[in-house]
C-alpha cells in the first residue's frame, strides 16, 4: 500500500517538529524536509505545510522554496513565515512590525463560511511569534481572520486551496489550533486518518525486509525504550539475522548490565554482552568538556562495535535506536537554519574504515510514539515505561572528570533516587529522572566531625517528547527523606539539591 503523506517544508522554525506531532495526533502521516532539499513532488503528497522561520522575508538571503509544482495543485497551509513568504512572492507587501508580536492574541474576526475555521470560536486564543506583518495582500487573496493588532491573521487565495495563517496552530497555546489543522487536512485536503501504530509497524517491517533482505544487522541495545523497540521491530523483520550487542561502558546505572542481558534473553533476542568499561574509562581519563566526552564515548562505541561486527561473518548494517528529537537537536531541524543544541553519540556518519551501513527504524518518531509502537508490538510494560536515559550514560551526569569512583558514587545515588520514586508510586508521574554529580564540594557536619564532600543534584521532569519539559513538584516529605537517605548511605556525599529549572531555558540533562 502506498502511504499518503503530508509534506512539511521546514524553514528552520523551532516549532516545526510540533507541526509534525499535531499532524500525527490526527493519525495522518507526515514527513519534514528542509526547504533547500525537497523530495520529488508526486501523488503520495496529499497536502503541504510551510513552517515558520527565525528569518525574515525582507532579508536578501531569506529561505526560498520554489512552489511552482505545488501551489494550485496540492492544498497548502502556510504558517507564519510561510504565510509571509507566499504573500510576498505573489506581489503582496510584508513590512517590519513596529512592535514584535510574541505571545497570546485573540481572533476578533473569522470568515465563518471558510472551511479552515469551521468550528473555531470567535475570540479564540492563538499564539503569535513574528517580527514582520503582511501589510497588503495580493489582489487574488482574501482575509479570512484577524486579531486586534493584525488585520491579516489568515488569508486564502481565490480559486485554490492555499491558506496562510500568521499564528501557530501547532502550539498548545492556540486553543483551536487542532481544529484548524483538522479542517485543513481532513475537510479541505481529504486525507484519511489511517496512520496508526499498527500501520507504522506493518509498513516498517515491510520496508526493513525490502531494505535488508538477507543481510546481517548488528544493533546496540541499552535496556531503554528506543533500542528495545528497534530490536523487536528488526527481529520481526529479519529474525536471527539480527545480532544484538549490549556494551557495558561502565557508565550504566547500578546492576544494569546483568539486568538488561537477562530481560532481553527472556524476550528471545539474540544478544551478546561485552564488558568494555575499562576501555571507556581510559578514553574519559582527564576529560571534562561535555562535547569531548560525548565524542570520545561515541568513537569508542563505534570501535567496540567494529570489533564485534568483525567477529560476526558478513555483517553489513549497524542499526540504531535514534529517535527524532536526537536528530533535531544534532543536525538543526533536518537541515533548516535553526540552532544546534548539542551532539548525540548515535547521530551522524560512520568512519570510513567501518564498512557498515546505518539503519534507523525509529528516526522519525517521538518518544511517546515509540512507546505506542512498543505497546502494539506487545513489549512488556516494564521495559516500555522506563525513563529515558542518555546514550553517553552517567558520563554527562558527572560534571567534570569521569572516574570509576565518581561513577560508583553517582550509581548509588541514582539507585536510591529511582528506587524511592518507584516505592512511593511517583515513578510514572515523572517523564525522566536522574542524579547529577556536581564538580564542587561543600562543608558539612557528620556527628561531631567537619566534612568536605561532594554535592549531588536531583532532577525530575515531566514532558511528552523531550522537546520541552517542566520540573516535577515532588512532595517535600519525599525530598526530605531521599536527601537523608542519600547522605547517610552514600559515602562521599554531604549535600543534596533539587533542580527546579524547566526546558527551555535549561535542558533536561546538565551537559
Tell me if 141 sits within 8 A of 90, measured CB to CB: yes
User: By mean pLDDT, which of 94-108, 130-144, 304-318, 412-426 is the weakest?
Assistant: 94-108
Give the C-alpha separation, 219 to 217, whole Å: 7
Q: Which of 57, 53, 50 is nearest to 77 (CA)?
A: 50
* Marked catalytic residue, from 168, 243, 344, 345: 168
Q: Which of 180, 160, 156, 158 is nearest to 170 (CA)?
A: 180
User: Residues with Cβ < 8 Å from 81, sequence gap 6 or more?
Assistant: 11, 13, 50, 51, 52, 53, 55, 56, 57, 63, 130
256, pLDDT greater than 80: yes
SS3 of residue 181 by DSSP: helix
pTM over 0.85: no
User: Residues with Cβ < 8 Å from 435, sequence gap 6 or more?
Assistant: 397, 410, 413, 414, 417, 456, 457, 458, 459
Q: What does the pLDDT read at residue 338? A: 38
Residue 350's pLDDT band, with cuts at 50, 70 and 90, is: low
What are 214-237's pLDDT values in tens digits?
A: 999 999 888 888 989 999 999 999
Q: Calculate the CA 97 to chain-centre distance.
A: 32
Buried b (16+ CB within 10 A) or exposed e, 337-356: bbeeeebbbbbeeeeeeeeb
Q: In what order do the strands lie in the sheet with 76-79?
A: 30-34, 5-10, 45-50, 76-79, 162-165, 154-157, 141-147, 93-110, 125-136
Q: What does the pLDDT read at residue 308? A: 83
Tell me if 87 sits within 8 A of 164, measured CB to CB: yes
Q: What does the pLDDT read at residue 139? A: 92
31, pLDDT greater than 60: yes
DSSP 325-347: HHHHHHHHHHHSS-------TTS
DSSP 29-60: -EEEEETTS-----TTEEEEEE---SS-TTST
How many residues in the chain? 511
Query: What separation in angstroms does the CA of 50 have from each of 125, 138, 158?
Result: 21, 19, 19
Give the C-alpha separation, 109 to 353, whole Å: 62
Give the C-alpha separation, 427 to 482, whole Å: 14
334, pLDDT greater than 80: no
Q: What does the pLDDT read at residue 101? A: 67
403, pLDDT greater than 50: yes
Tell me if 333 sits within 8 A of 55, measured CB to CB: no
> Which cell goes with 11?
524553514
- Residues 331-350: what's their mean pLDDT? 42
Residue 351's pLDDT band, with cuts at 50, 70 and 90, is: low
Q: What does the pLDDT read at residue 390? A: 87
198, pLDDT greater than 80: yes
Give the C-alpha separation, 205 to 419, whole Å: 36
What are 300-319's pLDDT values in tens digits?
A: 988 887 888 889 998 899 89
Q: Comparing 99 with 130, which gets the higher pLDDT?
A: 130
* Marked catalytic residue, from 170, 175, 360, 412: 170
Query: What separation in angstroms does the CA of 403 have from each of 250, 454, 503?
Result: 10, 14, 29
Buried b (16+ CB within 10 A) or exposed e, 200-239: bbeebbeebeeebeeebbbbbbbbbbbbbbbbbbbbebbe
Look at the block and give the residue holding cell 503520495.
44
209, pLDDT greater than 90: yes
- Residues 254-279: what's their mean pLDDT? 90
212 sits in the region (left: phi over 0; alpha: psi -120 to 50; else beta) called: alpha
Q: Kindly report the average pLDDT of the chain as a whole number.
A: 88
Query: What separation in angstroms does the CA of 272 have from each of 57, 134, 186, 226, 255?
Result: 54, 60, 47, 18, 17
Give the C-alpha separation, 236 to 240, whole Å: 9
Spell out where 171-304 has E strands.
216-220, 242-248, 271-275
Tell me if 456 sits within 8 A of 495, measured CB to CB: yes
* Alpha helices, H only, 442-490: 476-489
Q: Is 170 a catalytic residue?
A: yes
What are 86-98's pLDDT values in tens digits?
A: 999 999 999 987 7
Buried b (16+ CB within 10 A) or exposed e, 37-76: ebeeeeeebbbbbbbbbbbebeeeebbebebeebbeebbb
Q: Is 244 a catalytic residue?
A: no
> Please, is 381 exposed, middle or buried when counting C-beta atoms within 10 Å of its C-beta (0-12, 13-18, 19+)?
exposed
> Which cell goes with 175?
486553543
Give the C-alpha separation, 462 to 429, whole Å: 7
- Residues 385-402: what's their mean pLDDT? 90
Handedness of CA 17, 121, 185, 56 (dihedral sign): negative
* Marked catalytic residue, from 80, 130, 360, 453: 80
What are 425-480's pLDDT values in tens digits?
A: 999 999 999 999 999 988 876 665 677 889 999 999 998 777 788 999 999 999 99
Amino acid at each position: 500500500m502506498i502511504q499518503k503523506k503530508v509534506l512539511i517544508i521546514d524553514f528552520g522554525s523551532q516549532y516545526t517538529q510540533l507541526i509534525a506531532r499535531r499532524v500525527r495526533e490526527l493519525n495522518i502521516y507526515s514527513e519534514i524536509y528542509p526547504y533547500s532539499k525537497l523530495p520529488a513532488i508526486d501523488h503520495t503528497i496529499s497536502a503541504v505545510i510551510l513552517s515558520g522561520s527565525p528569518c525574515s522575508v525582507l532579508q536578501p538571503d531569506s529561505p526560498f522554496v520554489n512552489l511552482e509544482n505545488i501551489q494550485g495543485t496540492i492544498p497548502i497551509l502556510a504558517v507564519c513565515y510561510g504565510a509571509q513568504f507566499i504573500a510576498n512572492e505573489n506581489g503582496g507587501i510584508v513590512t517590519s512590525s513596529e512592535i514584535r508580536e510574541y505571545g497570546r492574541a485573540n481572533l476578533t474576526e473569522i470568515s465563518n463560511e471558510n472551511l479552515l475555521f469551521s468550528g473555531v470560536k470567535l475570540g479564540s486564543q492563538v499564539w503569535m511569534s513574528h517580527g514582520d506583518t503582511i501589510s497588503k495582500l495580493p489582489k487574488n487573496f482574501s482575509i479570512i481572520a484577524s486579531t486586534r493588532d493584525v488585520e491579516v491573521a489568515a488569508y486564502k487565495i481565490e480559486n485554490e486551496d492555499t491558506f496562510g495563517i500568521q499564528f501557530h496552530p501547532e502550539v498548545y497555546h492556540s486553543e483551536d489550533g487542532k481544529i484548524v489543522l483538522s479542517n485543513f487536512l481532513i475537510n479541505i485536503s481529504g486525507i484519511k486518518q489511517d496512520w496508526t501504530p499498527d500501520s507504522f509497524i506493518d509498513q516498517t517491517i515491510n520496508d526493513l525486509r525490502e531494505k535488508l533482505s538477507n543481510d546481517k544487522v548488528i544493533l546496540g541495545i541499552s535496556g531503554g525504550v528506543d533500542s528495545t523497540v528497534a530490536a523487536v521491530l528488526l527481529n520481526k523483520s529479519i529474525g536471527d539475522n539480527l545480532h544484538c550487542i549490549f556494551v557495558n561502558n561502565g557508565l550504566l546505572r547500578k546492576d544494569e548490565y546483568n539486568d538488561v542481558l537477562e530481560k532481553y534473553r527472556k524476550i528471545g533476542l539474540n544478544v551478546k554482552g561485552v564488558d568494555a568499561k575499562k576501555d571507556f574509562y581510559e578514553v574519559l581519563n582527564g576529560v571534562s568538556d561535555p562535547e569531548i566526552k560525548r565524542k570520545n564515548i561515541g568513537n569508542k562505541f563505534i570501535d567496540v562495535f567494529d570489533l564485534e561486527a568483525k567477529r560476526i561473518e558478513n555483517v553489513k548494517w549497524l542499526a540504531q535506536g535514534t529517535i527524532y528529537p536526537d536528530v533535531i537537536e544534532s543536525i538543526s531541524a533536518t537541515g533548516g537554519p535553526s540552532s544546534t543544541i548539542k551532539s548525540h553519540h548515535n547521530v551522524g556518519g560512520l568512519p570510513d574504515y567501518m564498512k557498515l551501513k546505518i539503519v534507523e527504524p525509529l528516526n522519525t518518531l517521538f518518544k511517546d510514539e515509540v512507546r505506542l509502537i512498543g505497546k502494539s508490538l506487545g513489549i512488556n510494560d516494564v521495559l516500555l515505561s522506563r525513563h529515558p536515559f542518555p546514550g553517553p550514560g552517567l558520563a554527562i551526569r558527572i560534571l567534570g572528570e569521569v572516574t570509576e569512583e565518581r561513577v560508583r558514587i553517582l550509581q548509588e545515588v541514582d539507585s536510591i533516587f529511582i528506587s524511592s520514586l518507584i516505592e512511593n508510586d511517583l515513578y510514572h508521574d515523572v517523564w525522566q529522572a536522574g542524579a547529577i554529580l556536581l564538580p564542587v564540594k561543600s562543608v558539612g557536619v557528620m556527628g561531631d566531625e567537619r566534612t568536605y564532600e561532594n554535592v549531588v543534584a536531583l532532577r525530575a521532569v515531566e514532558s511528552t517528547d523531550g522537546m520541552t519539559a517542566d520540573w516535577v513538584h515532588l512532595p517535600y516529605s519525599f525530598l526530605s527523606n531521599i536527601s537523608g537517605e542519600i547522605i547517610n548511605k552514600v559515602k562521599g556525599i554531604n549535600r543534596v539539591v533539587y533542580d527546579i529549572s524547566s526546558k527551555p531555558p535549561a535542558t533536561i540533562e546538565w551537559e
